[in-house]
Amino acid sequence: MTGWVLIPVLALAASTTVPLASDADIVASGRILVVNGVDAITVKTAAGGLQPEERVAVIAKALSPFKRGQTLKVVADPGLRVVLQGQTVATVTEAEAKAQGLSPDKLAELWANSINKALYVPPLTVPGQPLSLGVGQPQRVRVIGSAARSAAISSEPPGLVEVTRQGFDLVVNPLKRGEGAIVLSAGGALKSIPFSVLSPAAVFPQTLTVEVTGSPARKELVLQGIQGAMSTEFSAEPGALVRYTVPEIAPLGPGQSRVVPVDVAVEAPGFATTKGMANVLVKNSGGGRVYDDVLWYSNNPENLAGPGQLYFARMVTAMPTRLLWHHFNKSARPLAVQYILANRSDVPARIWLASGDAEPNSDPTKAGFEAGNRYFADWLGYQGTVLTLPPRSATPLSLRRLEPGQTSSGLASLRLLAGGSDDVVLVGNALALADVAADWQPQGFGDKPWLVRRSIGLAGLPFPVGGTERDIFSGPAKQVGFLYQVGGRHQFIRLGEQGIPSALGGPPLSGNFGVQYVVEGRIENPTDRNQTVEVVFEASAGYSGAIFSVNGKLLPGRILQSKESMVLLEAKLAPGQAQQIRIDTIPLSGAHYPATITVRTKGTS
């Protein structure tokens, strides 16, 4: 928009109204000249000793003699001016034209035309479209024309809306449902604005709560929690389309909390489109990793011939639990592999969750690797979300569509928190696609479905939330120590060789899939020369996926062919120097174990 330097007639205060001695209603509103309710110009720079607001006030005063039949013209001598009936209204400067991104002559023509157009709008003009209003959601409506601010206002039928005037705007406050019209009259002019008042598609403001963990909780986790709250907690009318914008997110430290304002727009059939704010309170309830006490191992059956229950286990309050699942669709039709958490009590349950849920893959090893890769980093950093599960309800922990020949694989850590329900169970099923709850299709198929689909009542499940517990193993963490000295024998650490014990009296876990290995050791150089020690992982039993953290640093995961190896660490040691080493890893579903970690001097055999 353009600006002007003016012949200094009289500097008026900002937001000044010119008395209606003219045939136009002219208002100087800060830097904006409002003519008959039309925002005609905005001034950007100071000039002639006047600030932009003062310059606009001078323009308003200079236009006050306007009568219908007159027009503004551009005159080029002396100076580039805009005049009314031979009297200068404004002189255009190079500085103001530059600020508007135009040449002075283009600027002068633009603003003369813009002001002329605003001067000749009809005396009373209302919006051409009916108003769609939501109860309790005020809306501003601009009315333009020289008679707009003096027109009488009424509404029919009475009681549906309350209308007040703020300058050229009508503020319409909808009171109750119905249809009617706002009527404006001035002299011989009569205009009406039809309206319909509907219930709003959502009520604002709303406050939602997200609880996460991490030291700190990464910004991606915080954002994921907010998106989950908007999907599962935000209240709107049935069938609503909810659009929202989340501001830039920062990590959140343990014990910290933050309110994140989310702009929301909601549409729903038969309801008024509504905009407002959802205030999302994000809390980080802790940052320390908790090791899992038991492993729920769901791999029997591994090959799915059709629908049926895959697993059942009951959570124990405050007992950290790891879950592994790995299933191959051997049938001739698509299946849904679904794991749910069901709260069978009459009080809410609070459950801490961290999971890695792989996209189904025709290669079982790649499916297991992807699941572990997604899980491992979050688990190491205690990056998790606290889920509140209402009484007598269920939520999907995992929900994947498996085509024939595909594998579903996942790892999760869960902990039932104290102070709520003590009757929460995990139920895994292979289902026909049509048997997945309607509320969970189709958007529920994907990673972390509990963040995108709301919980449902237990009565809506087509299968029982009971069963027989099996394949539960104790202590899914093994610690291995070693000492290696340069010049001595290689150190070999075998992974997946000695299974952890069953918690139910059965055989130990073959391969230790899903078990955390903590390998801690010391390497020493007792020689009088600089030496390099390397730590190498070998897929000694066959095709495998591998994930590692070495001395607190997460390594890029890899798929290794049989007998292929990857270097985990190279340490250069001076004479007499020693170094401590810690390696974390998990044998992954679909991989071949046992596997071997070797500690040796580089270049030796």
Q: Is residue 19's pLDDT more than 70?
A: no
pLDDT in tens, 38-89: 999 999 999 889 999 999 999 999 999 999 999 999 998 888 889 999 898 8
pLDDT in tens, 116-171: 999 999 999 999 999 989 998 899 999 999 999 999 999 999 999 999 999 999 99
Map residue 232 onto helix, strand or coil. Answer: helix
pLDDT in tens, 388-403: 999 999 999 999 999 9
Q: Is residue 9's pLDDT more than 90?
A: no
Band (pLDDT 50/70/90 cuts) for residue 3 is very low
Query: Token pair of 141, please?
Result: 């409506």
Q: Is residue 20's pLDDT more than 50?
A: no
What average pLDDT score do residues 311-325 get? 97
Q: Is residue 535's pLDDT more than 80?
A: yes
pLDDT in tens, 427-481: 999 999 999 999 998 888 999 999 999 999 999 898 999 999 999 999 999 999 9
Q: Global pTM?
A: 0.79
Q: Is residue 11's pLDDT more than 60?
A: no
- Which pLDDT belongs to residue 12? 32
Distances (CA, A) of 452 to 2, 231, 241, 311, 429: 49, 5, 14, 23, 20
Which element (helix H / strand E) includes 366? helix 364-380
Q: Is residue 16's pLDDT more than 70?
A: no
Band (pLDDT 50/70/90 cuts) for residue 348 is very high
Asked if 67 and 120 touch (Cβ cutoff 8 Å), the reply is no
Nearest to 121 by CA among 38, 61, 64: 38
Q: Is residue 96's pLDDT more than 70?
A: yes
pLDDT in tens, 205-263: 999 999 999 999 999 999 999 999 999 999 999 999 999 999 999 999 999 999 999 99
Within 10 angstroms of residue 444's Cβ, the number of other Cβ atoms is 20
Spatial CB neighbours of 305, under 8 Å, sequence gap ≥ 6: 330, 331
The strand ranges marked E within 363-406 are 384-389, 393-402
Instruction: Classify residue 567 as exposed, middle or buried by CB count within 10 Å of its CB (0-12, 13-18, 19+).
Output: exposed
- Which pLDDT belongs to residue 207? 97
What average pLDDT score do residues 526-531 get? 95
